[in-house]
Amino acid sequence: MLSLRIARLRESATIRMMEKAKELESRGVEIIHLDVGEPDFQTPKEVMDAACNAMRDGYTHYTPSRGLPELREAIADKLRSENGIDVTASNILVTPGSKQALLYTFLALLDEGDEVIIPTPAWPSYWEMANIAGAIVKQVPPKDGFGLNLEDIEALIGEKTKMIVINSPNNPSGAVFTKETLEGLVELAIRRKIIIASDEVYEKIIYEGSHVSPASLPGGQEFVVTVNGFSKTFAMTGWRLGYLAGPKQIVEAAAKIQQHSATCAPAFAQKAVAEVLAHADKLVKPMVREFRRRRDFIVPSLEKMDFNVRNPAGAFYVFPEIPGDEPDAPDFVEKILEKAGVSITSGSSFGGFNRSVRISYANNLENISKAIERIRSTISS
């Protein structure tokens, strides 16, 4: 009865773990969630006030499918001034969340049997978006820690390769790709005529290094679709607002899909972000300061327990290898959930990292410190 497309889709492992945690919670067990993919902060007051005003001013209906003109202009301004990408509003499509922007990009570019390259570790939804599009995934493990492995990426490019998906700052590793690496990637994409989908949702959550948009690099403009959103920057995951920016042909193709699916992104959210976007750096600062404090606590704490950790330079996750005498990650996370009451995510969902786990620090320091204590006593018992 159901489509083949559905048969190809896998359930989200994160959601499965969360359900398991909920089930334990319903039995009265106190679980500390370090599995969370969203900031534990309130949306900044400025954004909420702007949204309330927008609702009162009648921004409660459909907007133009591509987005409110003032938001598209504000995004184009931001991309030009902060990211160095030479775009106008005509290169922008506003979407209900960056996830939707990514899905449109996959659907706009990939036919059944086409190939997409995913450097790992990577966010599991990329695989499933490829599945929805009927495309085949070629995954490439990292080099020198969590860096892009350009040689192996190039070796996998074949006649059917249409796209490569990158994400910096990275979920789950927290890695921030260097300008030099991205220059190499853009050069490769141009030479082999493939599109880079660059997922930049963690752009503002960065502690070391600086964010580079591949679309700003020489020749990048024609070969990069930049995807971003406001879920993480403004802690507004529930509002659903994101965008893609890229070559007009791709933006128009994605816009067609949106016209016949979501129609548009929420009106009041668009209006609010149009008003505050220019002040994003100021609004995000306190949140990033707190994330950094947590990172600086969690990394040495894990090292003391013999986890092999690379210091994340961005996002709010750490992706360590678990101590050698522990079982593989899928069993380890179950053990930690059941015995320590701490919910973390197995690295197996991020491209088969069976000895790694993703620990989110989108939880307050008190809970993180309690969770560390519980993990410590579980693994040493």
Ligand X SMILES: Cc1ncc(COP(=O)(O)O)c(C=O)c1O
Residues near ligand X (CB under 6 A): 37, 97-99, 123, 167, 171, 199, 201, 229, 231, 237, 242
> Which residue's CB comes closest to ligand X?
97
- Phi and psi angles of residue 27, each rounded to the nearest 5 degrees, phi first: -95, 10
Closer residue to ligand X, CB minimum distance, 98 or 213: 98
Closer residue to ligand X, CB minimum distance, 268 or 379: 268
Task: Give the residue carrying structure tokens 């939707």.
Answer: 100
Closest CA to 116 of 28, 44, 204, 196: 196
The side-by-side arrangement of strands in the sheet containing 224-229 is 92-95, 242-245, 224-229, 195-199, 161-167, 115-119, 136-140
Closer residue to ligand X, CB minimum distance, 83 or 167: 167
Angstrom distances, CA of residue 343 to CA of 128, 248, 333: 23, 43, 7
Q: How far is the CB of 23 from ligand X (least distance, A)?
A: 23
* Strand 115-119 with 161-167, pairing: parallel
Q: How far is the CB of 241 from ligand X (least distance, A)?
A: 7
Helix ranges (DSSP H) in the chain? 4-8, 13-26, 45-56, 69-81, 98-109, 125-133, 150-156, 179-192, 248-259, 267-276, 280-304, 329-335, 365-379
Q: How far is the CB of 148 from ligand X (least distance, A)?
A: 15
Closer residue to ligand X, CB minimum distance, 170 or 221: 170
Q: How far is the CB of 295 from ligand X (least distance, A)?
A: 17
Closer residue to ligand X, CB minimum distance, 123 or 146: 123
Q: Is 119 helix (H, G, I), strand (E, B) or coil?
A: strand
Closest CA to 185 of 282, 269, 117, 280: 117
Q: State the Cα–Cα distance between residues 346 and 305, nearest whole angstrom.
A: 18
Q: How far is the CB of 159 from ligand X (least distance, A)?
A: 28
Q: How far is the CB of 169 from ligand X (least distance, A)?
A: 9
Q: How far is the CB of 235 from ligand X (least distance, A)?
A: 11
* Strand 242-245 with 92-95, pairing: antiparallel
- Burial environment of residue 123 by CB neighbours within 10 A (0 to 12, 13 to 18, 19 or more): buried
Contact call for residues 217 and 244 (beta carbons, < 8 A): no
Closer residue to ligand X, CB minimum distance, 214 or 242: 242
Closest CA to 40 of 364, 269, 283: 364
Closest CA to 103 of 304, 244, 237, 249: 244
Q: State the Cα–Cα distance between residues 300 and 295, nearest whole angstrom.
A: 9
Closer residue to ligand X, CB minimum distance, 195 or 235: 235
Q: How far is the CB of 238 from ligand X (least distance, A)?
A: 9
Q: How far is the CB of 246 from ligand X (least distance, A)?
A: 16
Closer residue to ligand X, CB minimum distance, 97 or 246: 97
Closer residue to ligand X, CB minimum distance, 135 or 165: 165
Q: Is 185 helix (H, G, I), strand (E, B) or coil?
A: helix
